[in-house]
Amino acid sequence: MLEQTGIPEASDINGVFPSDERLAKGPVAVIECFQRIPCNPCSTACRRGAIEAFDDINDLPKVNHEKCNGCSLCVSRCPGLAIMVVDMTYAEDKALLKLPYEFAPLPEEGSSVTALNRAGEAVGEALVVKVQNTPALDKTPLVSIAVAKDLARTVRNFRVTDDTSAESPGILRGDEAPSPMVCRCNDLDLDNIRDLMKKGFTSIDEIKRVSRLGMGPCQGRNCIPLVLGELSRFLGKPVSELDPGTYRPVVKSVSLGAVAEYDGEALTE
C-alpha cells in the first residue's frame, strides 16, 4: 500500500522504530525512509556513527539505535523530512516528538496544536514545547511537541490552525470531473483519444493525421507521452515497442526579404 498511497502503515512504522527497551532509555532518532534513492546526508550528519556509512548511495539508512543519543543533528538534514526524534521518557504519560516542520506560520511555544497522523488526519491534541529555527538548521525548523504516549507511533505532523477558510477549491472527482485534457493546443481530451482508438486509429501518426494531435505550438511535448501511455494500455504493449511518431525539425517562417538581402554577414534581425 505504501507504494500506492505514500502513507506508511503500522507494519512499516514498527519496522523502523527502535525496540521498547531502547525507547525507555531516552531520545532516539526514527528514520522513515522507505524508498531507495541516491541520498545520504543523514549518514554524513551523524557524528556518533549511529547511521552507518552507505556502501551504495541508494541504500536505505541503517540506524544503530544503541549508538544514537537523539541529538537531532540529522533531523533537519534529511531533504525528505523523514527523520524525527522520539523521547518516551519526557513525562509520565507524554512522549516528546521532535519534528521537522517546513510550513508557515511556525507555532508558538506553549501553544496547543492539532496532532495529525501520517495520512494528515487529526488524531488529538499536542502541546508545542520548543521551536528551533537557527541558521544551522537551514530553514528546516525543528518543533518539539508533547503527545499522549499511546499516540507516539501515530502522530507525525501537526496543524497550527483549524481555520480552513483559506483552503483551495476541491478537486472534482468521479462523474463530476471533466475528461482530462490531453492536447491543450488542439482541444483533445482523454475521451476524444479513446474514441479515436476504438475507431481503429492505434498509432501516434494515425491519431495525429486525423486529429492534429501534436501539431500545435507545443509540438507534441505534452500530448505524445500521454497518448503513448494510453496506447500502451489499449494495445497491451509496452511503450518501448510503440512507434513514437514522425518527428520533424521545428520550422519558423522567414520572410523572403531576409534571405534576399543576405550579404554573407551574420543576420541580426
Partner 1 sequence: MRINTHPILEFKRGAAVTITFDGKPIEARDNETIAVALHAAGIRNIGRSMNLHRDRGLFCAIGNCSSCMMIVDGVPNVRTCLELCRDGMTVETQHDKGVLA
Specify the stretch interacting with partner 1 by CB under 8 A; choose among 41-49, 103-111, 161-169, 240-248.
Answer: 103-111
Indicate whether 108 belongs to the interface with partner 1 (CB under 8 A). no
Smallest gap from residue 85 Cβ to partner 1 (A):
20
Interface residue with partner 1 among 137, 185, 228, 242 (CB under 8 A) is 185
The site string for partner 1 over 137-176 (x = CB under 8 A, - otherwise) reads --x-x-----------------------------------
Cell 525496540, residue? 19
Specify the stretch interacting with partner 1 by CB under 8 A; choose among 32-40, 161-169, 179-187, 193-201.
Answer: 179-187
Specify the stretch interacting with partner 1 by CB under 8 A; choose among 42-50, 56-64, 116-124, 214-222.
Answer: 214-222
Nearer to partner 1, 51 or 82 (CB): 82
Specify the stretch interacting with partner 1 by CB under 8 A; choose among 120-128, 152-160, 197-205, 215-223.
Answer: 215-223
Which positions touch partner 1 (CB under 8 A)?
102-105, 139, 141, 184-187, 212, 216-219, 221-222, 253, 255
